[in-house]
Amino acid sequence: MAESGSPQPKRPNPPRKEQSDLRKPLQVIHISRKEEVKSLGDLDSNISEENQENTDPQQSKPTKEGVKRTLVSPAKPLDILSQDDDNPLEAESKVSENLSMGDLLAQENLSQKNKPSTQSYNSNNFLERTVDEFDFDEGAFLAALEENEPIGNTGEIAKGSVIGVESDGVYVDIGGKAPGFMPKNECGLGVISNLKERFQKGLEVEVLVTREQNADGMVTISCRALALRKSWDKALELAKEGKVVEVKINGFNRGGVTCDLEGLRGFIPRSQLNEGEKHETLVGKSLNVAFIEVTPDNRKLILSEKKAATAAMFANFKIGQLVEGKVISIKPYGFFVDLGGISGLLHQSMITNGSLRSLREVFDQGDIVKALITDLDPGRGRIGLNTAMLEGIPGEIIIEKDKVLREAEDRAKKAQTILKAQEEKKEEEIQ
């Protein structure tokens, strides 16, 4: 016997009574449309065979259910019933009782197929649509986009009128859904003490958009940024043309002096000053300077007082002009000719139209040269000379140099006509 203190084994719990009364699963009736249609086809074939045997519809025998075998074919609608029925409604109900789900579905599909189609197709088998009032209107869509297009992209120049002045800035109507705001420090170059006097209501202004519109549709604009852009563009143009400008010195440091040019801060190194040793004494004075470097991206504007004398001389020259000078240097590629303080280059390809074996065949150092100016670049300080256009025949300057130089003025007139025609052609191509 087992000891009384030993644990008894666990017995399985008897099934609960509630579990025995489980609900029966729902019975699902599966309707196979394919089988119903198949059976319907067999039924039609049987009916057609009986109709052939007994052509008299009045002699048709009733079925076991007591209903006539005048069933309607799936190809016929229900409303076409046998004409021997006394009451069409009762006959229709009788017919419906003997029809299966497949018969009804088949009749519905046939009725859908027999319906006239309202859709038309073109030659490419694409469905054709007719334009109605609900179709897409491209013109109206583009007009709506244009109407709601944001006004004022960054870097864009806009025009407007002042509509309000506050202590921190100016509000300008530039045509957007909200006015543009110009902060006080962006209202112009330099310091503006009284905004209301400078920007009266209704004043037409031209501004540069510096920040696109925010959630309220307001853009940030600036008169100062636009003025600086125009100043840099003007400085680039002046430098390209090799112009000499007058500036006022407003400061100095160890490397040179500073000046103001069209609102831009320019720098003149000590090495480019005529009085570089005492450059601090130039503050407040005006100097004539030329351009050395103009870089708007880096805000770099380097000027030169010494180069201004050379740049001023370019104003005395033009394309096609006959000049006289002395050969001061001979290089493998040509002669450098002194034109009175400025040098011009007579390249070897511009000396003669004939065959040239050596540069010294024509000129030597210290010889006087008469030549036409065919290239003029004030920005880089270059002058291109030409003696080949003074020749009557190729190589004439090699054989009869004195004759060519003696008749240089008369020969230059013909050459100037040719150069003028070439310049006009270049301008037409640029345009």
CB proximity list for 350: less than 8 A, separation 6 or greater: 334, 374, 384, 385, 386, 387, 388
Asked if 423 and 407 count as a contact pair (C-beta separation under 8 A), the reply is no
- What's the confidence (pLDDT) of residue 378? 81
Q: For residue 37, what are the CA distances in angstroms to 30, 34, 103, 105? A: 15, 5, 7, 8
Question: Is residue 85 within 8 Å of residue 93, measured between CB atoms?
Answer: no
pLDDT of 98 reads: 57
Write the DSSP symbol of residue 8: P
Q: What pLDDT score was predicted for residue 303?
A: 95
What's residue 197's pLDDT?
86
Domains of the chain: 72-103 (no CATH), 157-224 (2.40.50.140), 243-310 (2.40.50.140), 317-424 (2.40.50.140)
* Per-residue model confidence (pLDDT) at position 367: 92
Report the 10 Å Cβ neighbour count for 248: 13
Q: What is the DSSP string of 151-218?
A: P--TT-EEEEEEEEE-SSEEEEE-SSSS-EEEEGGGSSSS--S-HHHHS-TT-EEEEEEEE---TTS-
Tens-level pLDDT at each residue, the chain (431 residues): 444 445 555 555 555 544 444 555 555 555 555 555 555 555 555 555 555 554 444 444 444 444 344 444 444 444 444 444 455 445 555 555 556 666 666 666 666 655 555 555 556 555 555 555 445 566 766 665 555 555 667 788 888 899 999 888 999 988 767 788 999 888 888 778 788 888 989 899 998 888 877 777 788 889 999 999 999 999 999 988 888 899 999 999 999 999 999 889 999 999 999 887 888 899 999 999 999 999 998 899 999 998 888 888 888 888 889 999 999 999 999 999 999 888 999 999 999 998 888 899 899 999 999 999 999 888 778 899 999 999 989 999 999 999 999 999 988 888 888 888 877 777 777 76
What is the structure's pLDDT at 127?
54
Predicted local confidence at residue 63, as pLDDT: 44
Which residue is associated with the tokens 């345009």?
A: 431
Q: How far apart are CA 390 and CA 352, in angstroms?
A: 9
Question: d(Cα 401, Cα 167) in Å, to the nearest integer?
Answer: 78
User: Which residue, 35, 48, 53, 50, is CA-closest to 76?
Assistant: 48
Backbone angles phi, psi at 153, to 5 degrees: -90, 155
Residue 97 has a pLDDT of 54
